[in-house]
Chains A and B, each alone.
Chain A
Amino acid sequence: MITLLNVTRYHMKPDGPEILLNDVSLQFPRHAKTGILALAGSGKTTLARLISGVERPDSGHVERRCSVSFPLGTTLGFHPRLSGAENIRLLARLLRRDVAETVDYCESFADIGPAFHRPVGQYAPALRARLGFAFSMSVEFDTYLSDGVTSAGDHLFRDKCEAALFERLNRSGLILLSRHARTLNRFCTTFYALHEGRLIPCDSADEAQDTLDYAGSYGTTFWNAEARHA
């Protein structure tokens, strides 16, 4: 169970505070698949960082009574001068996982051939993303946290990622923050819309999108309307 209790977070800007979360209280049950629809710049990443414990709120409290993953598919922990294998080895040690098992899993899942033993700095972005997702899938958590990422790489690899994620979600929960209602629909059963620092409960991802639409969050330009109805 993850609990947000009266959580407020703002960024100080020259023209006053920009409120990202305004006195939010919410519980994420351990195995719930929760989707949060939010637009770019509305505080999606900040909320993910608050939930994972990397950032703390300006007021209120975040309590975690289960293991929460690092953001799904993240490649932030990879040092560019180290090989994929070395990076995985060190991260597995840090997470107290079986090093050999984790390296084998990642090498097999990422399927990037000899590049696995080359410095990550030489990887194309797609290879790096594949390795990041492979590492995310190599570690079991009670709740997976995603800042919009549910797969990586080309369409074949994306299918593999989603299959692996669905398999994990048989035993684990998910908190998925995304700009796309369709992504939320695929993975989640509980929905919220993040608007002006509030998490508004919704019955479906479409309702979350309607909520943001109604609030005028998408704007009213022609292309926004086209994108909305695509």
Chain B
Amino acid sequence: MTGTLSTGLWNLGATLHTLMLREVRCRFAGDPVGYLWTFLVPLLWIATLMAFFTLIGRTPGIPVSTPAFIATGVVPYVLFRYTISAMARAIGTQRHMVHFAGVRISDMLLAAALLELLNALLVAALVWAMIALAFGPVPIHDPLQTLEGLLLTAFIAAAFGRLAAVAGLLSETVKRLTPILIRPLFWVSGVFFTVPELPPALPPYLWWNPLLHAVEVIRSGVFADYTSDFYDIRLPLLASAMALVVSHLLQSAFGRTRDGTELT
């Protein structure tokens, strides 16, 4: 029994590893910059937001360096958005893998989510190193809590990404709506503000945004001078668990995708 389980896990690990490798090789194949785009785009976002902050003379609502503040908003947002897009894309680029070695649609989705988590961890390390080089080191107050925030973001993204991908397999309308629905999250997930800065009427509404909780966890972990009493990790955990349950219910209710492929 233990042998079967460990063989199964080993096989799953090998399958996920190969699917991730395939995605890395395919995503920007033929582009001279290649996979570096994955790391360049968040850096460009941070640079653009810094330029915007400078232009309008805005400083973060807490006494911390501006690039570090922006980075703690951009990295989780990018992790969330990229994971959802990558999971939806994986269904397209990897769908024919179901013909080989018993690969399931769930494997493709999990591989996409894991790859985005690894990318985000590398982006976070790269951004922090570049901030240290350009503006002086910014020590991370509580590395464990910071990691917890990133993992929480990855979990939220994987759960909602799974739901969006499965629903997108069943309905073309949902597939087209997903990117449109994600876009406003940039403005309401604390990328360029902290919750205490907001007018008192807004936080009760934004409390329902799981990503904002994750961003607040990360900022409280990174900055010694900031402790947020806004976040409650039970909300993002519960919302993500519900998204996972609904995606599994959809899978078992419909059983197969629009082209007939088994939805496992």
Contact = CB atoms under 8 A, between A and B. Distances in A.
A119 B97 contact: no
Indicate the member of A54, A55, A81, A95 with the most B CB atoms within 10 Å: A54
A93 interface: yes
A74 B21 contact: no
Contact of B99 (A76, A86, A119): A76
Interface residues of B, number: 25
A70 interface: yes
B14 interface: yes
A71 interface: yes
Contacts of A55: 256, 260-262
B100 A82 contact: no
A53 interface: yes
Contacts of A95: 100-101
Contacts of A93: 14, 18, 21
A81 B30 contact: yes
Nearest to A64: B102
Given A54-B262, A82-B29, A96 B101 contact: yes
Given A82-B29, A119-B29, A54 B14 contact: no
A95 B29 CA distance: 23
Contacts of A74: 99
A47 to B, nearest CB: 12
Contacts of B122: none
B103 interface: yes
Contact of A53 (B22, B29, B102, B255): B102
B144 interface: no
Given A76-B96, A77-B97, A90-B18, A46 B25 contact: no
A94 B97 contact: yes
B98 interface: yes
Contacts of B22: 79, 90
B15 A94 contact: yes
A56 interface: yes
B256 A56 contact: yes
B132 to A, nearest CB: 36
Interface of A: 11, 46, 49, 52-56, 70-71, 74, 76-77, 79, 81-82, 86, 90-91, 93-96, 119
15 contacts: A49-B260, A52-B99, A54-B262, A55-B262, A70-B99, A70-B100, A77-B99, A77-B100, A79-B22, A79-B93, A81-B26, A90-B25, A94-B15, A94-B103, A95-B100
Closest 3 CB pairs of A and B: A81-B29, A76-B96, A70-B99
Given A79-B22, A94-B100, 12 more contacts: A52-B99, A54-B98, A71-B99, A77-B96, A77-B100, A81-B26, A82-B25, A82-B26, A90-B18, A93-B21, A96-B14, A119-B30
